[in-house]
Amino acid sequence: MIAAMPIICPEAPGNDTTGELDRDASTIAGPSRRPAAEAISKYILVDMYAKAVQAMAPVDAVKWAHGEMVKIYT
């Protein structure tokens, strides 16, 4: 039997112990914008992980992904 994860601080934002967030339609994300769709379609995060796993240093992979995201969002 797997025990449930304990809530460390129920008063912290995001820790909903009442179930209100499940019933509140305002918590549903809206449509994504063009830059987000472009970042997804170019597989930037997937490529970042692939670069880090294959040969590139993880720090360099993150820097590469950051540079690609800056190109999209500016």
- pLDDT for 2 equals 53
- pTM of the complete model: 0.59
- 54/60 Cα distance (integer angstroms): 12
User: Residue-wise pLDDT tens for the chain (74 aa)?
Assistant: 455 555 555 555 555 555 555 555 555 667 778 999 999 999 999 999 999 999 999 999 999 999 999 999 98
- 5/17 Cα distance (integer angstroms): 13
